[in-house]
Structure 1
Amino acid sequence: MTIRTARIAHFAGVAALALGLPGPTYAATPHPWMARATVAKQAAARADAAKEAIARSRARQLVAAMTLAQKLQQLTGSEPSVLPELPECFGARHVTGIAALAIPTFRITNGPVGVGQNDCVSRDVEKARAVPGAPFFLPYSHPSSAHATALPSGMAVAASFDPRVAADFGGVIATEMNNLALHVFEAPGMNLARLPILGRNFEYFGEDPYLAGTMAVAETKAVQSAGIIAMAKHFVANEQETNRMTIRETVDDQVLRELYLLPFEMSVKDGKVAAIMCSYNYLNGLQACANKAMLTGVLRDDWNFSGYVQTDFFALKNTVPSLEAGTDHEMPTPLYWSPDKISAALGQHSLAIGQIDTALERRYTQMFKAGIFDRKLVQTPIDFVAGGKAARAIGTRAAVLLQNNGALPLSPTARSIALVGKASQPYAQQAIAGGSILGKAMGAGGGSSDVVPDYTVAPIDGIRTALRELGRGEAVVKLVLIDDANASATIDGVSVPFAKALETIGASDSVVVMAGTNAEEGADRATFADKDGHQLAANAAAGLSLDWYVAKPSAIATTDPAGNTAKSSQTGAMLQAILAARSTTGVAMPAKTVLVLKDNASVAMDPALLGSHGPAILETWFPGQEDGNIVADLLFGRVDPVGRLPVTFPVAGKGFLDTIAADQFPGVRDPGGSFQAVQYSEKLAIGYRWYDANPLGKCAPVGGVNPCVAFAFGHGLSYTRFATSAPKLATDAATGRYRVSLSVRNTGQRSGSEVVQAYVSLPESADRLGVKQPPKRLVGFGRVTVAPGATQSVTITIDPAASHHPLGVWNSAEHRWVIASGRYTVWVGTSASPASLVEAGQFVR
């Protein structure tokens, strides 16, 4: 059984569980919901609906047998405690089981980039927590949490533009969750990169809802095929971390449907996701976990969602409204749904016992369906070698080559390499994940994506190992770290003036500069005048600069020296100094310099770095534990960079954030001063749609190139070259689908992959149905790998009935999707840039 597929046929009873998972122990007279025949019938059911129907019947039998006290105990997470089945584990992410009813302890893990915060920390934490004044969250994010593979970020997965990569990603996680006897994976995250500085962008899948939904569906299927419950999050419009617990957001209904709800709709309809996590924010006047219009109206009534809804941790704000709205499970502890509060509501007849039964039945149905009742809670060793191999493969398939002036792949004759970074930054010194802090081990942060890996590979180690494996062990790699003032540096730990460091860099055969934009849950990349994040102290776009950083990525950045002060690393000035330095190797500095980016999401690009006078630029996102090996594989050309941008990279000073109003971010204080109010007033114009729409009249294309865009959504180069044929558009009269076809020829000297993208422009009549439509929307893509000199065909199908509504407009007045009448134009290209796109054809509806 491979990590790639991670397929677990979780049969119970007569057959042994696959992958060696321990099967159940049956009593002499089992409960009817645990009867051998019933378990076997569920395991044998082929259709998803049939399997779920049996699971629901078992759930109803169980709920009918429970006392009120048992129901209330099961309605919420448990207080931090030792797990009965795993006495070596002190956990804070579970619902303690009820052995008398054969209910196992139900275990939940965080970590959208690997298994993190996984309900099993050292028993020493139990003792430490008992000490007066001990940190409350100690058992939730302690670094003694079980080790797992720290994968590349979700943004990296999206950059692959390949659902197979998302499936591999989910397969690693599911395999290791089964190793650790975990049941619920609180992911995939699919909020959109409305704000390029959103602190959790790296956990998500970019700025386009179709791309995000496609990746989420593939990951969900891989996870759930392994008997794990996937939990799509954060539902919904949770696009900023600043004041996330109290933020009041107003979003047009049509905008919600066409952008922010769309990936969730795809996950429900195509991925059959078992659970949804409601978020912290308020949406259109209602708190997310008490928003009946969303949790019941949209999820259940419109999409026929049959799973359950869990709160984000501590997201619940009330008792009765949340249960009535459609929330089913409070985490992590009984607060608003504590037995006393629920009992009081039942006694006052503001709640009915049937509502409690429904909430439990929804969750138990998914637990039965996943086989959680039908396997023992036993941990087995993780194969860290296999996990690392998979992480390395995912990371290399996610990297995006933004520009190349000949410096990549690194010259095979290079005998001296300068690895350059900032002394105050971790990028050139450590393996990078979300929230990486200089000098601290991965997993020492506090966000949901903290994973404690078994090992990490630093950049210099990866480069040196690659050189040895390539038979170039005599090559010298020097680590050059430069201070924030660009006044002094160290070369392999020896202090020198900056001018001396430039001499060493200029004398090197190859120069690799590493920089990036660190981020983590809890804060956005913005500087505020106050520690509460109420008023920006600088342009919101400042957070997209490579210069901007803070000591704690998870805390709000301020101008207050006593707080988490925002600082400047002067990375941009350092890069310009390096490019202007005197090269003594006979090769111009831009032609031998590579800028390796490790980013949360997009970066505002200095024009000085763009074009022939700039370096080669390779985006690797947050590579995770295999950082050094991933980057080395790409630098030396052992693999081809095949990723494409899931976000737009603006030219510095010309992006969406340079024009954003306070009511768009971070929000405007209400008259009482108790919360921030945010308007999504840009409506459908986010990401590439904003740049296409040119709302300020400054981004009109010149010669097919948008002057506000440094690197377009979907952009990515290769170490080889491709030529594409003229696309053809055909209509399948029998199905009503449209097909775009073309061929891709590899005109270079090595194998490589190309990603063909299809966009649709809606007719003008679509604007009359509500919100003005952007000039185009992504509706499909296809990846092909082509050998040198070979040609491969690509066909992209546009199905008007698909769950992502490629031609649809949400009609709020009629509460339904409609297809506007008029002429539709289909564009095909290798990015969203107008210069890349060719008209494939038109059709009339």
Structure 2
Amino acid sequence: MLDQLLDQMTLEEQVALLAGADFWTTVAVERLGIPKIKVTDGPNGARGGGSLVGGVKSACFPAAIGIGASWNPELVREMGVALAEEAKTKSARVLLAPTVNIHRSGLNGRNFECYSEDPMLTSALAVAYIEGVQSQGIAATIKHFIANDSEVERQTMSSDLDERTLREIYLPPFEAAVKQAGVWAIMSSYNRLNGVWTSENHWLLTELLREEWGYDGIVMSDWFGSHTTEASVIGGLDLEMPGPTRDRGDKLVAAVREGRVPAETVKAAARRILLLLERVGSFADPSMHEERAVDRPEHRALIRKLGADGMVLLKNDGILPFDKAALDRIAVIGPNAAESRVMGGGSAQINAHYKVSPLEGIKSALSGTNRVIHLKACRNNRLTQMIRGEVSVEFFHGRDWSGPAVHSSTAEESQFFWLDMPDGSLNPRNFSARVTTRFRPEETGSHVFGLTNAGFAKLYVDGELVVDGETGWAKGDNFFGLGNTEVRVEKPLEAGRTYEIRVDYRAMPEGYEGIEIRAVRFGVEFPTSDAAIAEAVEQAKACDVAVLVVGREGEWDTEGLDLPNMRLPGRQEELIEKVAAVNPRTVVVLQTGGPVEMPWLDKVSAVIEAWYPGQEAGNAIADVLFGDAEPGGRLPQTFPQRLSDNSAITGDPRTYPGENGHVVYAEGLAVGYRHHDADGVKPLFPFGFGLSYTSFDWSAPRSFSTEMGPDGVTVEVKVKNSGKRAGAELVQLYVKPKSARLPRPVKELKAFAKLAIPAGQTATAKLSIGIRDLAYFDPQARDWIAEAGDYELVIAANAEDIRAVLPLRLVAEWREGGSAPPLPGVVD
């Protein structure tokens, strides 16, 4: 059917399929009944085709790092099914997820959006996610292909690494997605690989992906991530996104007519687009309904379960779980206590149906408010606090706010991100908008107003110009690097008085290259005072327990910006130290998208890493605090003692953040626990670490063979829950080669089993590996090689907690050839 359809298509029609129609949809060919389909972000929810902020509401699932911490493929598969259902409510056929880039530096702004530092764990979760999504007829899109492991100059940076490192650390999740899950779509990354854009890298997209791995799905660009006409099509990029086309269309037709691009190459790419349409059922049902907000109770329950299953108990002196009946007064303190930090920033963010804060969750768990004392104490936001309430916006033709308003709307907070114009008659290069709201301060004194904009903007208070976001405008660190650095101005305000806030925004004039979005964000806040921290300390001193909910939020953990360090921002460390000094029963709940340094660790009673657990955040956190749920998570990423312990942070800018447009992966295979094993650097918390509310007894592991055969080897470990409550235990299997011709990591994760065990009962972990799990990639031989000889199977609870070592022998050398030629651009 597809080939017949292809034969009826003109070259122009085939080319039309190879670029989007707009930001979220593909091109239809009505003459032949070829429908368009919609795609949607993202990893932790289906946003639909609206703005990155606001828009139709959706279910917000936990961020990927929390999913990685669950070590639970079965639950992730359920999440995939639910996300497919969410995509259908937005009339989308393609979900732009999962993100499977590796945790390299600990500072990546999208660290929260990725599963793990380990390729095996990442692969297992990605396969489950994809299988769940695609079981419902929705295409998953694994991304970002490849080595997009930092947000620093991500649209131009070249990730330079050798082929062995690429194949053993960064490619395995994509290989598993193709070979095991049969993924239907792949998204190329923004960066270059050894100097060549990934979106036109023939070695990557054609020789490796299609010819060696046998991939038959589509490859699409990241948004505005393609750069050429001929090179991208010949390289293997099928779909340029978003539309309308910039480098295809007439340019590609001319390239074919003039013999610069083979017609068969275009035809093959068009066929893959048609195959995607067939796979997602759009030929049988081409309809596209209005986006809907469908708040399903079963999705609420799953999100709450996923949130608790990914929370990691890092320290506990016995204070947790809390006994609800024994608490007379509980202090809930910190910048994340009353704020619902449910997700990271960037393209992963959605407009959640609702957001439960930790304070709300704790109050609900205690069936009332009279025992709970709350103080914010300090701030942790990167940008000034947005104004929440009714915010009105009017749109005008032209850049001078003249004439009648063309369109008007309201929002719930002072941030706007216009990917598409709200009215079709508005020219995105020649319009203006006027945003108005009110602000009533709670304290008298100097407040900070902040404004950041992609486009030009000015902020007025009661008609007085306070912040000028137009004069001297330059690209900065907001809105994916396309907005200016936030401009901040102090102004005295009186408590209880209502102020009129107005922001006049207008589009960039012609001539500003690279400005593809239109956005504005403004806020106002009263700076943290010594008095606020002192009051929190005094209140905490008088309470039975103090719960400090601290960390970061989606303005720090965000696409487009890496973190400056691994410390808690603002005065949060000071707050922890001072509260712990007056109340020894202090529990810290962290919300971060990756590891943090903890100079205060020895001074608190317990620490929970809660990540960004989705719209049920507060309920899931309360479930774990009060023991209604087990803290089921184990770290998917090593927490180093200090940033400098990370193998990518060498002090040489060439390894991080990059220099002269290149970042060199000089650490090679030494990522995460592999680095700590090799160098003996003791981490703060090792990979796979996590405590429980119960205890477990492990039996001696049993291997069914001491020789690796063609059917692999299975190891069984019986684990008894010797405590008084149900709990979850993680059993890991690492492979340790006794010797090798090439340098190898000390050990590498190759299998794991997470066991949910009722109190007093026993469960069996079955851990199976195959010959490929013994192998390394030899770039000279062009083979995966498992050398004949002796290996050890290391059975562990985490990367440092080794419970047993079993011998294994491979009698004869095994090879699996890599059919792609050597990776160009480096010398192995």
What residue in structure 2 maps to residue 478 of structure 1? 373
What residue in structure 2 maps to residue 393 of structure 1? 305
Instruction: Please tell me whether the aligned partners of residues 197 and 524 of structure 1 are also in contact (alpha carbons under 8 angstroms).
Output: no
Instruction: Please tell me whether the aligned partners of residues 163 and 218 of structure 1 are also in contact (alpha carbons under 8 angstroms).
Output: yes
Q: Which has the higher contact order (CA 8 A, sep 6+)?
A: 2
Closer/same/farther in 2, CA of residues 474 and 354 from structure 1, 3 Å limit: closer
Aligned amino acid, residue 103 of structure 1: I
Instruction: Please tell me whether the aligned partners of residues 467 and 475 of structure 1 are also in contact (alpha carbons under 8 angstroms).
Output: no
Distance 1:142 1:777 in 2: 39
Closer/same/farther in 2, CA of residues 301 and 794 from structure 1, 3 Å limit: same
Which of residues 319, 322, 339 is equivalent to 1:430? 339
Which of residues 215, 218, 228 is equivalent to 1:318? 228
The question of 1:73 aligning with 2:16 is answered yes
Distance 2:728 2:532 in 1: 44
Deviations 1:281-334 (A, max 9, x none): 111121101111110111011111111110111111111011111111100024
Alignment of 1:342-381 (within 5 A): 342-375=252-285, 376-379=287-290
What residue in structure 2 maps to residue 621 of structure 1? 611
SS at match of 2:704: strand
SS at match of 2:731: strand
Distance 1:580 1:733 in 2: 56
What residue in structure 2 maps to residue 403 of structure 1? 315
TM superposition shift of 1:570: 2.4
Which of residues 334, 337, 341 is equivalent to 1:421? 334
The question of 1:741 aligning with 2:716 is answered yes
TM superposition shift of 1:364: 1.1
Instruction: Please tell me whether the aligned partners of residues 808 and 818 of structure 1 are also in contact (alpha carbons under 8 angstroms).
Output: yes
Closer/same/farther in 2, CA of residues 451 and 594 from structure 1, 3 Å limit: same
The question of 1:509 aligning with 2:544 is answered yes
TM superposition shift of 1:475: 4.6
Deviations 1:106-152 (A, max 9, x none): 10111111112x22x4xxxxxxxxxxxxxxxxxxx353432110111
Instruction: Please tell me whether the aligned partners of residues 649 and 656 of structure 2 are also in contact (alpha carbons under 8 angstroms).
Output: no
What residue in structure 2 maps to residue 161 of structure 1? 71
The question of 1:711 aligning with 2:685 is answered yes
Aligned amino acid, residue 361 of structure 2: G
Deviations 1:479-534 (A, max 9, x none): 1222369xxx99xx99955334322101111211111133444434344xxxxxxx
Distance 2:12 2:652 in 1: 51
What residue in structure 1 maps to residue 560 of structure 2? 523
TM superposition shift of 1:250: 1.1
Instruction: Please tell me whether the aligned partners of residues 411 and 510 of structure 1 are also in contact (alpha carbons under 8 angstroms).
Output: no
Instruction: Please tell me whether the aligned partners of residues 108 and 186 of structure 1 are also in contact (alpha carbons under 8 angstroms).
Output: yes
Instruction: Please tell me whether the aligned partners of residues 112 and 186 of structure 1 are also in contact (alpha carbons under 8 angstroms).
Output: yes
Distance 1:390 1:61 in 2: 44
Deviations 1:627-680 (A, max 9, x none): 1111111111101111110000111365216534211111112xxxxxx11110
Instruction: Please tell me whether the aligned partners of residues 431 and 626 of structure 1 are also in contact (alpha carbons under 8 angstroms).
Output: no
Structure 1 stretches of 4+ moved >6 Å: none
Instruction: Please tell me whether the aligned partners of residues 462 and 632 of structure 1 are also in contact (alpha carbons under 8 angstroms).
Output: yes
Which of residues 428, 431, 449 is equivalent to 2:348? 449
SS at match of 1:358: helix
The question of 1:655 aligning with 2:655 is answered no
Aligned amino acid, residue 773 of structure 1: R
Alignment of 1:38-437 (within 5 A): 58-79=1-22, 92-116=23-47, 118-119=48-49, 121=50, 141-375=51-285, 376-379=287-290, 382-412=294-324, 413-422=326-335, 427-435=336-344
What residue in structure 1 maps to residue 793 of structure 2? 826
Aligned amino acid, residue 74 of structure 1: L
SS at match of 1:159: helix
The question of 1:499 aligning with 2:534 is answered yes
Deviations 1:60-91 (A, max 9, x none): 22221122332232220013xxxxxxxxxxxx
Instruction: Please tell me whether the aligned partners of residues 729 and 841 of structure 1 are also in contact (alpha carbons under 8 angstroms).
Output: no
SS at match of 1:373: coil
The structure with the largest strand share of the pair is: 2
Instruction: Please tell me whether the aligned partners of residues 788 and 809 of structure 2 are also in contact (alpha carbons under 8 angstroms).
Output: no
Deviations 1:197-225 (A, max 9, x none): 10111111110000001000000001011
The question of 1:579 aligning with 2:580 is answered yes
Which of residues 644, 647, 658 is equivalent to 2:634? 644
Distance 1:149 1:483 in 2: 30
Instruction: Please tell me whether the aligned partners of residues 227 and 372 of structure 1 are also in contact (alpha carbons under 8 angstroms).
Output: no
Distance 1:62 1:626 in 2: 47
Distance 1:191 1:648 in 2: 16
Long gaps (5+) in structure 2: 381-441, 444-525, 812-828
Which of residues 364, 368, 391 is equivalent to 1:465? 364
Distance 2:557 2:178 in 1: 27
Instruction: Please tell me whether the aligned partners of residues 52 and 347 of structure 2 are also in contact (alpha carbons under 8 angstroms).
Output: no
What residue in structure 2 maps to residue 759 of structure 1? 734
Q: How many residues align?
A: 659
Aligned amino acid, residue 30 of structure 2: A
TM superposition shift of 1:156: 0.8
Instruction: Please tell me whether the aligned partners of residues 347 and 559 of structure 2 are also in contact (alpha carbons under 8 angstroms).
Output: no
SS at match of 1:465: helix
Instruction: Please tell me whether the aligned partners of residues 605 and 650 of structure 1 are also in contact (alpha carbons under 8 angstroms).
Output: no
Instruction: Please tell me whether the aligned partners of residues 396 and 641 of structure 1 are also in contact (alpha carbons under 8 angstroms).
Output: yes
TM superposition shift of 1:378: 3.1
Distance 2:745 2:147 in 1: 20
TM superposition shift of 1:246: 0.5
The question of 1:609 aligning with 2:508 is answered no
Tell me the TM-score normalised to structure 1 length: 0.75
Instruction: Please tell me whether the aligned partners of residues 145 and 188 of structure 2 are also in contact (alpha carbons under 8 angstroms).
Output: yes
Distance 1:474 1:662 in 2: 51
Instruction: Please tell me whether the aligned partners of residues 141 and 186 of structure 2 are also in contact (alpha carbons under 8 angstroms).
Output: yes
The question of 1:679 aligning with 2:589 is answered no
Deviations 1:227-270 (A, max 9, x none): 11111100011111110010012111011000100110011000
Distance 1:233 1:454 in 2: 26
Aligned amino acid, residue 377 of structure 2: I
What residue in structure 2 maps to residue 667 of structure 1? 658
Aligned amino acid, residue 807 of structure 2: G
Distance 2:6 2:572 in 1: 60
Instruction: Please tell me whether the aligned partners of residues 206 and 212 of structure 1 are also in contact (alpha carbons under 8 angstroms).
Output: yes
Alignment of 1:732-811 (within 5 A): 735-765=710-740, 768-769=741-742, 772-800=743-771, 805-811=772-778
Closer/same/farther in 2, CA of residues 570 and 733 from structure 1, 3 Å limit: closer
